[in-house]
Amino acid sequence: MFDYSAVAELFRQRSRRRPTQIAYRRFANAADAIQFAIEVLPPALLHGTFIEVNDQRLGARQIRQLYDDDGFPLARKRGTV
């Protein structure tokens, strides 16, 4: 069972071509971090994005799986599933 309420940090691999893109952001809970990664980041940037929750690092595939999971606690934006 994944803890969507745990504090989460989002990391983005830095790009030499886009130095101003988001590289780090802290979230009060993992659900918000997952939602941000899927709904706010451009899809091309999801690859190379990691979320760290309770010393566990989640890559793009795991982020998507958690977002799509029936246990995801937040309302999903239309067109993202």
Predicted confidence (pLDDT) per residue in 7-44, tens digit: 999 998 765 665 555 578 999 999 999 999 999 988 88
Asked if residue 77 is part of any domain, the answer here is no
For residue 79, name the pLDDT band (cuts at 50, 70, 90): low
Q: Is residue 1 part of a domain?
A: no
Q: Does any domain span residue 3? A: no
What strand order describes the sheet that includes 49-53?
24-27, 8-12, 49-53, 56-58
| pTM assigned to the model | 0.85
Range of the domain at 14: 8-68
Work out how many domains the chain is built from and give that number: 1
Q: How far apart are CA 26 and CA 30, in angstroms?
A: 9
Would you say residue 34 lies in a domain?
yes
